[in-house]
Amino acid sequence: MQEFFMTAGAAQGKRFVDPVFSVLGAAREAIAKYGKDQVVNASIGTIYDDEEKLAYFPAVSELIKSLPPEQVVDYAPIGGIAGFDQAVLDFAFGKSKPDSYLAAIATPGGTGAIRNVFYNYADAGTKILLPDWLWGAYNLIAGEYGRLVDNYQLFTEKHTYNLPSVQAKVKECLREQDNLVVVFNTPAHNPTGFSLSKNEWEATLSFFKEEAKDSSKRIILLIDVAYMDYAGEPEEIREFFSLLTQLPENLLVTIAFSMSKSFLVYGLRCGALIGVSSSQRVIDEFMAVNAYSTRSNWSNVTTLPQRIMVQVAGDAALMEEINQVRASYRRLMADRASIFVREAQQVNLEICPYKAGFFISIPMDNAKEVANRLQQERIFAVPLKKGLRLAVCSIPTGKMAGLAGSIKKAMEK
């Protein structure tokens, strides 16, 4: 039978099954049937404490309750409420603010920031360069707007950062097109927990500066820092930002900042797109096009989380209280991950280079099969194209021991 479409053009046949939420559904069914203690839910990318309760910052929750309605229910201006942009720039860069022209505009989460870069800086029908290990939504966002994608290999065979692959792919794309958006998701990459070091950033930036010597090209780096605040000591992991200076005018750095993880307010849908350039006119254009995109897509961004950002930025004690709790969750995930990494070594299970953060990935070709076998043992992890993703953010410490061995066995079956 011929398919019938009510939809028009590119929307025809548009459909997707979220791999995370389908595994999560299966995990929840198993919990209902066998009880929480009998199930390892390694699927969801939100932090759960060791009692398997969703983590949040009590100080943020108290602040929400204390805000007068008129500060919450009103529309926010298109660019964000007064002080939001500065609060984001101060928080995101810390002591490593680049010596460049900077701007920030509110977006609905990091997702909105990514959407705006893909739409405004990559032409329809041209390629956006993504890492091969990646957050799947990049592909969906690109597809929604008719942008094509290509991938650089994030790792060498020795599990180190593969700058030569980035270089080869960038050169290849720039032979075919004049505008190129290149995505980096670091520090604490989803789904591997990898982070580029400051030296690796130095080498990467000097390559891009060299490529930008061809003035007919426009190169846009999108650094997705969604998990930055769980990647290490806050000031240390921000140090690479100070390298974003003396950029050629045709090399723009954009940063997708997300409050979802940094302030544990995933559902409040707030983040920002930050622009870094050595050219004022590039930044003026950045604000103009992104304000237009805001108005035409979501009109303006939710006021409440912006208010939280501004209040916290203006209250050192409140900020410190949140920083302390955030650091405790970072240590919790590091402890969980260290159990897995140690046991993986003991059982000879190859894993992607994990440095920090919410996820660990195990490379394999048949992740779906392995994930199904693990589900029979009530272990629920997300199969990806290149491997299996384990969300250490949601597995209580007490359930980490033995997981590496179970995965190894499921791979050998």
Please state the closest distance from residue 260 (CB atom) to ligand PLP, in A: 3
By the rule CB under 6 A, 248 interacts with ligand PLP: no
Q: How many residues bind ligand PLP (CB under 6 A)?
A: 13
By the rule CB under 6 A, 258 interacts with ligand PLP: yes
Closer of 110 and 187 to ligand PLP (Cβ): 110
Does residue 393 sit in helix, strand or coil? coil
CA angle, 406 then 408 then 412, to 5°: 115
By the rule CB under 6 A, 266 interacts with ligand PLP: yes
Closest residue (Cβ) to ligand PLP?
A: 109
By the rule CB under 6 A, 85 interacts with ligand PLP: no
Task: Give the separation between CA 404 and CA 341, rounded to whole angstroms.
Answer: 8
Site string for ligand PLP, 90-109 (x = CB under 6 A): -------------------x
**Residues in region 193-232 near ligand PLP by CB under 6 A:** 224, 226
CA distances from 9 to 6, 13, 14, 146, 296 (A): 10, 9, 10, 11, 21
Site string for ligand PLP, 166-185 (x = CB under 6 A): -------------------x
- In the sheet with 359-363, reading across from the earlier edge strand, the strands are 359-363, 387-391, 382-383
Closer of 262 and 406 to ligand PLP (Cβ): 262
Dihedral-angle region of residue 239 (phi above 0 means left; psi in -120 to 50 means alpha; beta otherwise):
alpha
Closer of 41 and 111 to ligand PLP (Cβ): 111
By the rule CB under 6 A, 110 interacts with ligand PLP: yes
Closer of 106 and 407 to ligand PLP (Cβ): 106
Closer of 80 and 110 to ligand PLP (Cβ): 110
Closest CA to 147 of 130, 167, 128: 128
**Residues in region 126-145 near ligand PLP by CB under 6 A:** 135
**Residues in region 391-410 near ligand PLP by CB under 6 A:** none
Please state the closest distance from residue 224 (CB atom) to ligand PLP, in A: 5
- Residue from 43, 120, 190, 294 binding ligand PLP (CB under 6 A): 190
Closer of 134 and 344 to ligand PLP (Cβ): 134
By the rule CB under 6 A, 45 interacts with ligand PLP: yes
* One-letter-per-residue 3-state SS of 184-227: EECCCCCCCCCCCCHHHHHHHHHHHHHHCCCCCCEEEEEEECCC
- In the sheet with 148-152, reading across from the earlier edge strand, the strands are 101-107, 271-277, 251-258, 218-224, 179-185, 127-131, 148-152
CA angle, 218 then 225 then 219, to 5°: 5
CB 100, CB 277: distance < 8 Å: yes
Closest CA to 255 of 266, 241, 265: 241
**Residues in region 333-392 near ligand PLP by CB under 6 A:** none
Residues in contact with ligand PLP by CB under 6 A are: 45, 109-111, 135, 185, 190, 224, 226, 258, 260, 266, 271
